[in-house]
Amino acid sequence: MQRILGIDPGSRVTGYGIVDAGYGKVVFVSCGVIKTTPSFPLANRLNEIFEGINEVVQIHDPEVAAVEEVFISTNANSALKLGQARGAAVVAAMQNGLAVYDYSAKKVKRAVVGYGQAEKRQVQHMIRVLLGLSATPSNDAADALAVAICHANHQVSR
């Protein structure tokens, strides 16, 4: 079994999900979100993301990290902030010795829903079903678990 940390980066909320994958199955370990302080300058929020991912890694000891790529939107400022948040999460994973793998949102959605244009609620539902969860995780945590499952599926096919 390989422990995978999935990360759905965001400058306000960064989702994380931990799964154990191997032997043809994926098992839920943990998930949650790192909420940054809205009143803080961006630099401080990036540090909160870095520290949050660092703490998750220290607690759950994953072997690899899978991160959703930046979605290019029409708002350049939002895309830049998202890219910086993603960078803080990636550096936190790398500083802890994890290999980092990147997956597009379409690839992640295809891996869990079977359709690259799936809506967030569809991803949440499938995460609950695939992992046998008793409750539906938040959007950000579900997206992070989806990234981890996507990586698990791609490791099997390699």
Contacts of 24 (CB under 8 A, 6+ apart): 156
Instruction: Work out the number of other CB atoms within 10 angstroms of the CB of residue 138.
Output: 15
Of residues 55, 61, 63, 68, which has the active-site annotation? 68
Percentages helix, strand, coil for the chain, rounded to the nearest 5? Answer: 50, 25, 25
- The structure tokens listed for 47 are 């540090």
| 103, amino acid identity | Y
140 an active-site residue? yes
DSSP one-letter code for 138: P
8 an active-site residue? yes
Of residues 8, 20, 48, 143, which has the active-site annotation? 8
- The structure tokens listed for 129 are 């079903």
Of residues 20, 48, 140, 143, which has the active-site annotation? 140
State the catalytic residues.
8, 68, 140
